[in-house]
Structure 1
Amino acid sequence: MSIIKLDATDSTNSFLRGLISEETVADLTAVMAKKQTNGRGQMGTVWNSEASKNLTFSVFKNLEDVQIEFPFYISIATSLALLKTLSFFSIPKLKVKWPNDILSEDKKICGILIENVIKNNKITASIIGIGLNVNQTNFKDLPKASSLRIISGRLFDLEEVAQQIISNLRYYFNLLNSGDLALLKEEYLNYLFRKNKPSTFKNAEGNLFSGFITDVSDSGNLVVLLEDAIVQEFDLKEIQLLY
């Protein structure tokens, strides 16, 4: 595996996208930055991270030979790679908050941003951006954020964690390549935050409502059991799960 190390960049996803537009990049090549000046999260949010204390990196995944019927399984494979890595480092009480925030002890420790490369109406590659809170201990005005150091009490080597993630990405994308979707889905649902528990949601209009998360569809929609036994699917723009 190849890791390109940068002191600073606006966004490792953007850097990697520019790189693959200029040259052939090997599968699972990673770009790792000590500091991102414009790190991005889901739905246009900003990912803030103290320089040199956290893992801010992006991985190129070649998917030219993979038949991706449901793109959400790229997110599932990535989430499971992170969960497997964190389990390896003995991080407790891991969950995935739909669609792909990684939690420990109900605190967010990792965000994932996946940008697919599409040619001739086919996904040919993914740029997988990962922001993992590792050695940072101060999260001012972010009460629901935490880090591996806060949770475990120990310091981590960022490159060691990155290499473990890349290794697990290879493992789970091999499962995806072999078409083992049921196995991937089952493992993802086993980690799903608030599954089958009464939860509060906010819709796009800002209204609150209650329900039970029962599933995630193959297309990535959250399946929620509402009042009067009504089951409804929501996409990321339609619903927000509140803690």
Structure 2
Amino acid sequence: MVFLPQCHSTNDELVQMTRKSNEPEGTLVYTDDQQMGKGQRGNAWITEPGKNILMSVLLRPNFLSPSNQFYLNLISGLAIVDTLKSHVTSEVLLKWPNDVFINGNKISGVLIENNLRGNRLESAVVGIGINVNQQGFRINTATSLVMETNIEFDRNELIETLLCRLEKWYLQLKNGSTTYILDEYHKLLMWRGEVKIFKSKNEEFEGEIVGIDQHGKLAINQDGNLRTFGIKEVEFMR
């Protein structure tokens, strides 16, 4: 367990540590102030120092084929939901591919950086950010535990809970319970069964989210035609 009062990115720090030495699975890096936190699509994850959970965990999922690496996103999201749902009355949902929402606002995100060696998944750095005690954000589509509950939380206790939940889901994955994991993810998938507007390659279209397929792609029903999209291939519009 490594605590850094300030760093550019916990993911970057843990990746560098792993390159320099054979860090054990479960190694944790966390910080109070992340200067260059990263999100999906190259977005920045910007938070107020000392208020939130900013952490990265090292996994060594060599039992997992590279084609199934997306399951790491699923179990990370499920672990976060498990951690948060006991503290809020509102429903906690997962927005594909790996954001966590409460009341239509983002409270958490995941960024996983995998290291492949040949046809083997050698290691994975799981970066998790959770808005905990921050009262306001630059954008109005973000929320935090304190904003949802009017209660300040002990971040270290939340981290301990989160690590326990992540271990639980990781062991499910290690035991081959992929069908169960996928079913549980689908139960929490935001907008599943709803018709929404999407954008892909400058084309806007209407479709219904069906779920995710066996490759981790988002499956959308467009007028009876099932289309699948990777992470950077489709955007939610409205």
Shorter-chain TM-score: what band?
over 0.9
Gaps of 5+ in 1: none
Question: Which residue matches 2:143?
Answer: 146
Cα RMSD of the aligned pairs, angstroms, is: 1.3
The correspondence of residues 138-217 of structure 1 with structure 2, limited to 5 A, is 138-140=136-138, 142-205=139-202, 207-217=203-213
Number of residue-to-residue matches in the alignment: 238
**1:128 maps to what in 2?**
126
Report the TM-score, using the length of structure 2 for normalisation: 0.96
Identity of aligned residues (%): 28
Give per-residue Cα distances to partners, 1:178-231, cap 9 Å, x unaligned. 1111100000000000000111112232x321110012012111100112x111
Query: 1:204 touches 1:237 (CA, 8 Å); kept in 2?
Result: no
Could you tell me whether the CA contact under 8 Å between 1:91 and 1:104 is conserved in 2?
A: no
Verify the 8 A CA contact 1:12 1:57 in the aligned structure 2.
Answer: yes
Residue 53 (structure 1) aligns with: 51
Name structure 2 gaps, 5 residues minimum: none
2:225 equivalent in structure 1 = 230
Contact 2:206 2:222 in 1 (8 A): yes
- Matches of 2:103 and 2:70 in 1, distance apart? 25
Kindly indicate whether residue 217 of structure 2 is the aligned counterpart of residue 221 of structure 1.
yes
Q: Give the TM-score normalised by the residue count of structure 1.
A: 0.94
Is contact 2:66–2:116 with CA below 8 Å preserved after alignment?
no
SS of aligned partner of 2:57? strand
Aligned to 2:6: 8
For residue 91 of structure 1, report the CA deviation from its aligned partner: 5.3
Runs of 4+ in 1 over 2 A off after TM superposition: 64-69, 88-92
Counterpart residue type for residue 139 of structure 1: F
Question: Shift of residue 175 of structure 1?
Answer: 0.5
Asked if 2 retains the 8 angstrom alpha-carbon contact of 1:96 and 1:103, the reply is: yes
Paired with 1:28 and 1:55, the residues of 2 have a C-alpha distance of 17
Report the 3-state secondary structure (helix = DSSP H, G, I; strand = E; otherwise coil) of the residue aligned with 1:182. Answer: helix
